[in-house]
Amino acid sequence: MVSESSERQRHEGGRWTRQAAHDLADGRYAAEGSRHALACFLSHQAAEKAVVGYLYARGAEQVWGHALSDLCEDAMALDPSFDLVKSNAALLDKHYLGARYPSTLPGGVPAEAYDEHDSARALATAEEVLRFVTDRLEAESLAPASERPDG
């Protein structure tokens, strides 16, 4: 039997992972329109929201920060397999500010500095993180309680 608290946590985690999927789709749309800096930022957002969703689904009451390297560390405390995506996910951290603010670049603006190769890599990484998170959540919710990391 699933407690009301656990159900609420899963629901909140699901809200975050659903938004992550929308951000990823929006990132693809932006890249198709040659808005590569925006696609990179949305890739970061998708991966960030996916990991935040995992943390909420696993019982976190509050999640702080935007750095995927830190969020994946938090997730590793619950599931060491997050080490498999941490290094790739952390590559998206440079897009959190770099893809939005001219002050993060020595010259020019993000809209002129990012290209299709940047957005393709960022989108692929975000997709990997989102797939990893959804696979982990499905595996944990389908496993008997005695086999779950927290059970």
The alpha-helical segments, DSSP class H, found in 33-65 are 36-57
pLDDT of 34-77, one tens digit each? Answer: 999 999 999 999 999 999 999 999 999 889 999 999 999 999 99
Residue 150 placed within a domain: no
Residue 148 placed within a domain: no
DSSP letters for 52-112: HHHHHHTT-S------HHHHHHHHHHH-GGGHHHHHHHHGGGHHHHHTT-GGGSSSS-HHH
Residue 18 placed within a domain: yes
Residue 119 placed within a domain: yes
- Position 140 scores a pLDDT of 82
- Position 68 scores a pLDDT of 97
Please state, as a whole number, how many other Cβ atoms lie within 10 Å of the Cβ of residue 144.
7
Please state, as a whole number, how many other Cβ atoms lie within 10 Å of the Cβ of residue 13.
23
Residue 104 placed within a domain: yes
pLDDT of 13-36, one tens digit each? Answer: 999 999 999 999 999 999 999 999
Residue 99 placed within a domain: yes
Range of the domain at 105: 4-140
Residue 145 placed within a domain: no
pLDDT of 114-126, one tens digit each? Answer: 999 999 999 999 9
The CATH number that applies at residue 115 is: 1.20.120.330
Q: Report the SS3 class of residue 65.
A: coil
Instruction: State the total domains in the chain.
Output: 1
Residue 105 placed within a domain: yes
